[in-house]
Structure 1
Amino acid sequence: MSVSEVFARRATLSRSVRLLSEFRFEQTDPARFYTALAADTAAMVGDLWQASRGEPVAGCTLLDVGGGPGYFATAFQKAGFDYIGVEPDPAEMHAGPATTGSATYVRASGMALPFADASVDICLSSNVAEHVPRPWRLAEEMLRVTKPGGLVVLSYTVWLGPFGGHEMGLTHYLGGARAAARYTRKHGHPPKNNYGSSLFAVSVADGLKFGARSGVLVAAFPRYHPRWAWWMVRVPLLREFLVSNLVLVLRPR
């Protein structure tokens, strides 16, 4: 059974519709949105681990690069993982339950993780790679700290996909700098995800090339699509517009 096959059973149309409906609340009710996303992500990572190792997740050490305000910590601890969060922005940590829960948090950059080689079972990064200027340096660091036979799960928003502009909406198709300028004129302040400083263009092709070059890619699929639409990842150009978020599953050597 392939690494992604167990999770594929969960990747139904009803799940996709449910997650899409939750995206409406990202700005107005972030607790609702991120709680739902965190629960779905914990289930996905649990499925990938089960398929890869054939054993439960209880006791597995998971390092979450870009753990944010703590909603992921709650979901992963509930699922049985030993959770460690990495977050460079203290404001993000204080925006949710991160500082009130029992999870371990470390303030650090994902591009220079303060962890020893081969020290965790699973390294996860959810929707962070598009926010750093060197996303594949981030991926290399994730591989470095993960034990041989463990899993690296790197998921990111594709720039040319419908959500690539984040709060700038579809105006990112005008170009990132133009979209940011337009948002600033309309709202009187720059977007939180500002192109060129906190938002960068990352493609599906970039991720697949990194996986092939590193020789550690075991699966790649659209995070929010139903299983019957996963074929899109295999079609150049089309995948850049239709795969809104790509999951790379990597196995360190």
Structure 2
Amino acid sequence: MAATDLLARRATLSRSLRLLSEFRFEQRDPDRFYGALADDTVAMVTDLWTAVHGTPPSGGTVLDVGGGPGYFASAFTDAGMRYIGVEPDPREMHAAPALQRGEGAFVRASGTALPFGDGSVDICLSSNVAEHVPDPWRLGDEMLRVTRPGGLVVLSYTVWLGPFGGHEMGVTHYLGGRRAADRYARKHGHRPKNDYGSSLFAVSVAEGLRWAAGTGALVAAFPRYHPRWAWGTVQVPLLREFTVSNLVLVLRPS
């Protein structure tokens, strides 16, 4: 069975519209937004693992690189997986409600220098983090290193030229990253949290596909929030940079 066969059945237009409607709550109600995203992420990871291995990933260890305040911890724990979150920002990590409840484990570290041994986890996940580090493919290499042979690496990131590439700056990022960030600062009186050049970087579909193909471990690439009938856009140069808002790369180390 192909890695995406089970996931494809859930990749409906109604799911896409449901997730899209939650994006408007990211800033003002993060619990609602990230709660919905966590549930969908666990379902995605479970589908990918089950399609490859024939059984669900219950009992496996999932390493969430750049897990922030741990919104995914409860969802993965409820699904029967051992959750480890990695986050470099102590303010984000200590805000984790899951940490207070004792759900999962949390480690302060950089995703580009993971403090774990080779092949030490079953699943390594990074959700919407690669666009926030200056060397996203070093992060990807580290994710592959710590994942055991036969495990899964799921690297998902926001594409710069897609409609959400500017994050809270909106579509002004099409004017240029620095110009959009400066414009945001003038309007709001402070720099954006996702500030171009320091905490937000331009990452393309083409770059991700090129890196993943070079590892020899790529098993699937698809747009995270699109219905199945739109997945083919990943294969169309230039068009994909504007239409694939978030790219998922699935790799299986050998």
Same fold (TM over 0.5): yes
C-alpha displacement of 1:216: 0.9
TM-score by length of 1: 0.99
Give yes or no for the alignment of 1:65 onto 2:65.
Answer: yes
Aligned equivalent of 1:19? 19
Identical-residue share of aligned pairs (%): 76
Aligned equivalent of 2:31? 31
CA distance in 1 between partners of 2:228 and 2:162 (Å): 18
C-alpha displacement of 1:41: 0.1
Describe the SS at the equivalent of 1:105: strand
2:23 maps to a residue whose letter is: F
Aligned equivalent of 1:194? 195
1:69 maps to a residue whose letter is: P
Alignment of 1:164-243 (within 5 A): 164-243=165-244
Give the aligned CA root-mean-square deviation in angstroms: 0.7
CA distance in 2 between partners of 1:53 and 1:46 (Å): 10
C-alpha displacement of 1:212: 1.1
Unpaired segments of 5 or more residues in structure 2?
Answer: none
1:50 maps to a residue whose letter is: T
Deviations 1:85-119 (A, max 9, x none): 10111111233414313210000000000000000
Aligned equivalent of 2:162? 161
Aligned equivalent of 2:101? 101
1:27 maps to a residue whose letter is: Q
Aligned residues of 1:120 and 1:147 also touching (Cα < 8 A) = yes
Deviations 1:152-178 (A, max 9, x none): 000000000000000000000000000
Alignment of 1:78-117 (within 5 A): 78-102=78-102, 103-117=104-118
2:48 maps to a residue whose letter is: L
Aligned residues of 1:68 and 1:98 also touching (Cα < 8 A) = no
Runs of 4 or more, structure 1, over 6 Å off, are: none
Describe the SS at the equivalent of 1:179: helix
2:156 maps to a residue whose letter is: S
C-alpha displacement of 1:6: 0.7
Deviations 1:118-173 (A, max 9, x none): 00000000000000000000000000000001000000000000000000000000
CA distance in 2 between partners of 1:96 and 1:21 (Å): 24
Deviations 1:12-59 (A, max 9, x none): 100000000000100010000000000000000000000011112111
CA distance in 2 between partners of 1:219 and 1:136 (Å): 17
CA distance in 1 between partners of 2:97 and 2:4 (Å): 30
CA distance in 2 between partners of 1:98 and 1:76 (Å): 11
CA distance in 2 between partners of 1:12 and 1:138 (Å): 30
Describe the SS at the equivalent of 2:10: coil
CA distance in 1 between partners of 2:253 and 2:80 (Å): 23
Give yes or no for the alignment of 1:52 onto 2:52.
Answer: yes
Describe the SS at the equivalent of 2:23: helix
C-alpha displacement of 1:81: 0.9
Describe the SS at the equivalent of 2:162: coil
2:199 maps to a residue whose letter is: S
CA distance in 1 between partners of 2:116 and 2:204 (Å): 28
Aligned residues of 1:133 and 1:200 also touching (Cα < 8 A) = yes
C-alpha displacement of 1:204: 0.3
Describe the SS at the equivalent of 2:178: helix
CA distance in 2 between partners of 1:5 and 1:101 (Å): 35
CA distance in 2 between partners of 1:12 and 1:176 (Å): 32
Describe the SS at the equivalent of 1:75: helix
Describe the SS at the equivalent of 2:40: helix
